């Protein structure tokens, strides 16, 4: 049986993978750029954004402008069926605002 901590860690890892894959479609270094911006602006990493989706939304918008919707829709697609889960669903709702 997985304890609560392991489930959270797995969820964070899965979430980080979904975001990194969405960013790397344009080029792997975009991961680094977004990571830097999160660190600079909010002192957090990509995986921490599952608890603070507004940070990720803000950084994506500040970096890509109107084109942030491309990355956001790819993240949504990558999360697929996990989007039904409450925490992921809430996260996606904040991103899509």
Partner 1 sequence: MQTNLDELKSSKSLLFCLFAVVFVVIVSNLAGSQAATITTDILYVPVAGGLLVLSIIIAVKFKGKGETGRAYLLFVTFVSFWFAGEVVWLRSELVYHLVPFPKETDLLYLAGYPFLFAFMIYYLKPFRIAISKKMIWNASLATMIFFVPTIYAMYSYNPAASLPEIVWAALYPLSDAMILFPAVLGVALFLKGKVNLLWSLCCIAIILNIMADSGFLFLDTDNSVHSGNPVNILYLWAYILFAFGIYSQVKLFTLPKMKSFGKVDDLK
What residues line the site for partner 1 (CB under 8 A)? 24-30, 32-33, 36-37, 39-40, 43-45, 48, 61-70, 73
Q: What is the largest CA-CA distance in the chain?
A: 44
Contact predicate 63/33, CB 8 Å:
yes
Asked if residue 88 lies in contact with residue 82, where contact means CB atoms within 8 angstroms, the answer is yes
Q: Which is nearer to partner 1, 1 or 43 (CB)?
A: 43
Closer of 14 and 48 to partner 1 (Cβ)? 48
Which residue is listed with tokens 């991103």?
Answer: 95
Give min distance, CB of 95 to partner 1, in A: 15
Q: Which two tokens stand for residue 14?
A: 């899965």
Q: How far is the CB of 1 from partner 1 (least distance, A)?
A: 26
């Amino acid at each position: 049986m997985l304890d609560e901590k392991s489930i959270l860690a797995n969820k964070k890892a899965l979430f980080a993978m979904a975001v990194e894959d969405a960013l790397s479609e344009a080029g792997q270094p975009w991961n680094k750029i977004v990571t830097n911006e999160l660190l600079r602006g909010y002192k957090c990493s990509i995986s921490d954004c599952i608890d603070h989706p507004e940070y990720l939304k803000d950084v994506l918008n500040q970096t890509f402008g109107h084109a942030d919707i491309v990355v956001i829709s790819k993240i949504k697609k990558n999360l697929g069926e996990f989007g039904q889960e409450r925490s992921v669903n809430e996260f996606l709702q904040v991103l899509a605002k």
